[in-house]
């Protein structure tokens, strides 16, 4: 980092900037447990408010036109107690010069909401130590799993996709309340939030109408690869959960995706039983007094 590096807080999130953020982020996660295909559409769907489309509080660091780092806060959605912090992400060439700390302080001061970080992988110990040095505290953990798309369900075993389903919004809201632990107002807006995600496809929302269960899967593709992310599994019990997970693997195979990935705060036993392996664990952090 040089004296010409400038940090700017932006009020918009245009496509070309999402592309820049995606390329830098992909470079920074390569080889770690959270390595995944990162595209401009993924960046936009993660940073913009899902219901309103409002841009994040976004700080970018540049040396001339070259993007050296970024950090963002996604605005809280209805029912969320905290806004979500993404980053800071700093180019390898600009590290160990305090840029990450400057980006973090900039967005925290600009946001003004209680914050929780995204998942920080344990296999990057410097990242967790960075937040602790910055005054944050660990607040929970998740397990990251990876699987290989395979298999096919017989007609008698097949699940229903959300394509053409009448009353889908009510179905999703009921599953969110019953199995996802969501409060009624937040559950009611769930489908609308999902539909604003560029990765959402009705054919990748798998349903088990007999129990009111569901699995939300999101296909992600970039120049580096492809995967089906199991974003939510809200199910009546282990048998239904495993049935939906198996169906998701078959869906990934049909779509010729390279991998299946899951990130869960729950016991990963059902995912492991379906052939997925644990590839890492992550922690989240909050600022003291914001629990």
pLDDT digits (tens, 9 = 90+) for 136-166: 999 889 999 999 998 765 554 568 999 999 9
* DSSP assignment letter at 44: H
Q: How many CA atoms lie within 13 A of 212 on its CB side?
A: 14
Q: What crossing angle do the helices spanning 40-47 and 15-29 adopt, rounded to 10°?
A: 100
pLDDT confidence bin for 197, thresholds 50/70/90: confident
Whole-prediction pTM value?
0.84
pLDDT, position 17:
95
Q: Is the pLDDT of residue 215 over 60?
A: yes
Say what percent of the chain tops pLDDT 70.
Answer: 96
Q: Is the pLDDT of residue 50 over 70?
A: yes
pLDDT, position 291:
42
pLDDT, position 156:
46
Across the chain, mean pLDDT equals 90
Q: What's the token pair of residue 246? A: 């198996």
Over residues 169-196, mean pLDDT: 92
CA of residue 186 relative to chain centroid, distance: 18
CA distance 248 to 260: 8
Per-residue pLDDT tens over the stretch 73-120? 998 877 778 889 999 999 998 988 999 999 999 999 999 889 999 889
pLDDT, position 82:
87
Per-residue pLDDT tens over the stretch 228-268? 999 999 999 999 999 999 999 999 999 999 999 999 999 99
């Amino acid at each position: 980092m040089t004296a010409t590096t400038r940090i700017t807080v932006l009020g918009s999130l245009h496509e070309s900037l999402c592309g820049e953020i995606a390329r830098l982020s992909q470079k920074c996660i390569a080889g770690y447990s959270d390595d995944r295909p990162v595209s401009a559409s993924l960046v936009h769907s993660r940073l913009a408010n899902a219901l309103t489309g409002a841009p994040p509080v976004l700080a970018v660091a540049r040396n001339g036109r070259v993007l050296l780092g970024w950090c963002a806060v996604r605005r809280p959605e209805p029912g969320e107690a905290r806004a979500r912090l993404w980053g800071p992400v700093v180019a390898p060439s600009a590290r160990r010069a305090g840029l990450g700390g400057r980006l973090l302080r900039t967005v925290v001061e600009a946001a003004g909401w209680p914050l929780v970080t995204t998942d920080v992988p344990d296999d990057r110990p410097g990242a967790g130590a960075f937040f602790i040095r910055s005054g944050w505290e660990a607040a929970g953990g998740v397990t990251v799993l990876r699987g290989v798309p395979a298999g096919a369900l017989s007609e008698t075993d097949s699940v229903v996709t959300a394509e053409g389903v009448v009353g889908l919004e009510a179905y999703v809201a009921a599953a969110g309340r019953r199995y996802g632990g969501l409060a009624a107002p937040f559950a009611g807006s769930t489908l609308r939030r999902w539909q604003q995600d560029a990765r959402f496809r009705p054919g990748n929302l798998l349903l088990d109408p007999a129990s009111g269960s569901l699995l939300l899967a999101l296909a992600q593709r970039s120049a580096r690869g492809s995967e089906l992310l199991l974003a939510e599994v809200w199910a009546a019990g282990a048998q239904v959960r495993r049935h939906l997970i198996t169906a998701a693997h078959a869906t990934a195979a049909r779509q010729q995706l390279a991998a299946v990935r899951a990130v869960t705060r729950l016991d990963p036993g059902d995912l492991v039983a379906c052939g997925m392996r644990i590839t890492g664990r992550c922690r989240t952090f909050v600022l003291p007094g914001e629990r």
